[in-house]
Chain A
């Protein structure tokens, strides 16, 4: 079936380096994509979103890239900090009422 998946379950990054988290989606009808960050014991926290009519969007220290040709989404975190250690989820919506479909997540571990 249609799904959102992540390439790597765990990403180890040195403090100060840039992080790149990848996500593949298979539903060509997906129109809206969101990245969430989830710290241990907390609910998912919205990071950044992008609509299918865009290919790049920037926030504070984060950039999301969307490649509709290969159905690929990535989240770039600049100058990764210890507080960035968390599980990152990409999610997509295709339904008119905004049901989120999540992947399994990527654990980002920031090392000193």
Chain B
């Protein structure tokens, strides 16, 4: 099975900060990676798929980059509504595992 390692697992940041979250795959997954945002008590929300394609309706301050084993989710200017937990998921082969998550909290 492909393992995904997210870092950091916890991040404290201020409104307006640029935030980067990384996701490392245990083997080459090409661009088969998605990013989700989850707020407490809610279902996850798709942000980015195919490593860098922004899902319709997602603000442009979110962007994704990377390929093969190393990926990054960037929030260019953190907004109050962005404080949440973020997960990566690979879509290369079954099982479609998730990373462990990164919780973004207010500094």
**Co-complex (A, B):** no
A interface residues with partner B (beta carbon < 8 Å): none
